[in-house]
Amino acid sequence: MSPGGHQRIFISYRREETSAHAGRIYDGMVSRFGEENVFMDVEMEPGVDFVDRITEVVSSCTVLIAVIGKDWATAPGPDGSPRLHDEADFVRLEVATAVQNPDVTVIPALVDKAQMPKAEQLPEEMRHLARRNALELSDGRWRYDVGRLNQTLEHLLEGLTGFPVIVDPEPPTPPPEPAKPAPDPRPKVARPPAAQLVIEGIAVAAIAAFVGRWLVSTVPEAHTTAGEITALMLRRIGSWGLTGLAVALWLGARTGRTDFARIGLLGLAAGVLAGAVGGASWALPVLLPDHERGVTNPKLEVLSIAITGGLFGLMIGALWRPPRVAAAVLAGFVAGAVVQLILNRAGVGGGKVPEVCFVFAARAGTVTGFTLITLLALDYQQETEPAREG
């Protein structure tokens, strides 16, 4: 008991729920008001009437701090009903005694994000507690909130304890928020699953190449070297040009692009360039010198389709999001060389129009599919890199 007998801060709490928070509040009170002015556990000698003892201790205080956690009003007792509705519950006795005593100020202190209980949750003699203004003590700003509670107590106890009123501490300055990256102006479009994307790309390229080669099959056979070179170039330009247009429009739609006219022209130009350069790389070395009609050069054909595949991959990589030009060029070059090697080994290449159309479809589908697989693999590696580093 402090001198004068009416200078106490009593901390009421439920041990099973808020003992840690109550202990921190006690330490903050003691450091400011002294141990003789603060207590939170009623000592009970054997044989003492606990109702009389609690009434005596609480009535001798100036302030009762009711530490309220999330389950303060609903914590069940042995019979399953809320403990607050048990007349022998210590917390009920402490708070009810203080609420009914006009000389005791009751301050609800909410901890662990608790809410103030409603009047209907409380026993009849405690319902005035629901009308008391509560103070929230947050773990994130504990020192500041306890400082506010101390200031309130200083006003209540001034003249009794002799403690001067301290200016309300400034709230802690929140740390600066990390800079957020600039939003991507491009619309967000969900890609289909990787396997579906690859299958779609192969199908679009193969069908377009087959149709394109079928359409240019009407180019007549020539009987001169210059005419033969021109005819070969026109067939490859027509087939790869239509393929580039189709794949560009499909990929633009899959990556959320809206400028389809520009994308279509880009795809058409890339296909024409791929067919022209690839065709020239084979026709000029083989057809310009004196040659026998029908004689081919398998090695030059592999190089020709590899060049065509690299240029076609360039278009796919430029339209990818994010763009990956170098990887796409390399993937297209390798895919073109590999598919032509397979076709050479299988003995497929010339002959009737359907067979030639199939060859063009196989080349375009393989180049497109392998390039897409490479780009998807690079995207997956980039997305999982932070997780591996973590």
What tens digit of pLDDT does each residue of 8-23 get? 799 999 988 898 999 9
Residue 214: count of CB within 10 angstroms of its CB: 17
Q: Which helix (H) or strand (E) holds 266?
A: helix 260-287
Cβ(93)–Cβ(57) below 8 Å: no
Average the pLDDT over 82-97 and give the result: 91
* Per-residue confidence (pLDDT) for residue 234, from 0 to 100: 85
Residue 167 has pLDDT above 50, yes or no: no
Average the pLDDT over 154-160 and give the result: 73
Phi-psi region of 95 (alpha: psi -120 to 50; beta: other; left: phi over 0): alpha
Question: 230-270, pLDDT tens digit by residue?
Answer: 877 888 898 899 999 999 999 888 887 888 899 999 999 99
* Per-residue confidence (pLDDT) for residue 203, from 0 to 100: 95
> CA–CA separation, 193 vs 201, rounded Å?
12
Residue 292 has pLDDT above 90, yes or no: no
Average the pLDDT over 309-327 and give the result: 91
Residue 218: count of CB within 10 angstroms of its CB: 9
Q: Domain-by-domain residue ranges, the chain?
A: 9-157, 194-389
Tokens 């026109």, located at residue: 234
Average the pLDDT over 118-144 and give the result: 90
Average the pLDDT over 357-362 and give the result: 90
Average the pLDDT over 293-319 and give the result: 84
* Per-residue confidence (pLDDT) for residue 187, from 0 to 100: 47
pLDDT category, 188, cuts 50, 70, 90? very low
* Per-residue confidence (pLDDT) for residue 65, from 0 to 100: 94
Q: Which of 64-78, 117-131, 165-179 has the lowest mean pLDDT?
A: 165-179
> CA–CA separation, 358 vs 211, rounded Å?
10
Residue 161 has pLDDT above 70, yes or no: no
Tell me the percentage of the chain whose pLDDT exceeds 90: 36
Distances (CA, A) of 307 to 126, 236, 281, 319, 336: 87, 13, 8, 19, 7
pLDDT category, 202, cuts 50, 70, 90? very high
Average the pLDDT over 176-190 and give the result: 54
* Per-residue confidence (pLDDT) for residue 297, from 0 to 100: 75
* Per-residue confidence (pLDDT) for residue 165, from 0 to 100: 46
DSSP 61: -
* Per-residue confidence (pLDDT) for residue 110, from 0 to 100: 94
Distances (CA, A) of 103 to 3, 12, 63, 110, 326: 17, 17, 9, 22, 82
Tokens of 361: 């479809």
The class that CATH gives domain 9-157 is alpha beta
End-to-end alpha-carbon separation of the chain, Å? 57
Tell me the percentage of the chain whose pLDDT exceeds 70: 83
Residue 298 has pLDDT above 90, yes or no: no
Question: 105-115, pLDDT tens digit by residue?
Answer: 999 999 988 99
Could you give the 3-state DSSP secondary structure of residue 108?
A: strand
Q: Which helix (H) or strand (E) holds 65?
A: strand 63-68
* Per-residue confidence (pLDDT) for residue 159, from 0 to 100: 58
Query: What's the mean per-residue pLDDT of the chain?
Result: 83
Residue 386 has pLDDT above 70, yes or no: no
pLDDT category, 191, cuts 50, 70, 90? low
Residue 387 has pLDDT above 60, yes or no: no
* Per-residue confidence (pLDDT) for residue 41, from 0 to 100: 79
